[in-house]
């Protein structure tokens, strides 16, 4: 029996919604790395759909922050505006 190699992952293009979302949450301390992935995905959904306010999108991610949620939101907002996203 043989196993196939892992699928190759292509990085997101610079300036895409994926790269903006994940770059905006860098440096935010979470209890688990998967929390950060979940936050990045929810932020990506927020960027592409904009159904709810940003604070609701962050809260629904269910992230266990190691800082206050208000501080995390402030950092996310700063990261998004630094990358040219209008809030």
Q: Please, what sign has the CA dihedral across residues 81, 19, 32, 87?
A: positive
Considering only CA atoms, give the Rg of the chain. 15
Residue 55 CA to residue 63 CA, distance in Å, equals 12
Per-residue b or e along 12-41, where b marks 16 or more CB atoms closer than 10 Å to that residue's CB: eeeeebbebbbbbbeebebeeeebbebbbe
List average pLDDT for each run of 10 residues in the chain, which is 87 residues long: 76 82 91 91 92 91 92 93 87
- What pLDDT is attached to residue 63? 93
Q: Note the pLDDT of residue 74.
A: 94
Please, what sign has the CA dihedral across residues 76, 51, 46, 80?
negative
Q: What is the pLDDT of residue 14?
A: 80
pLDDT at 73: 94
């Amino acid at each position: 029996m043989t196993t196939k190699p892992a699928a190759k992952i292509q990085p997101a293009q610079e300036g895409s919604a994926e790269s903006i979302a994940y770059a905006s949450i860098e440096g935010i301390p979470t209890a688990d790395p998967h929390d950060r992935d979940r936050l990045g995905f929810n932020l990506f959904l927020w960027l592409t759909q904009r159904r709810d306010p940003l604070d609701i999108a962050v809260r629904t991610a269910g992230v266990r922050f190691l800082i206050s949620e208000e501080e995390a939101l402030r950092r996310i907002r700063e990261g998004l505006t630094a990358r040219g996203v209008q809030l």
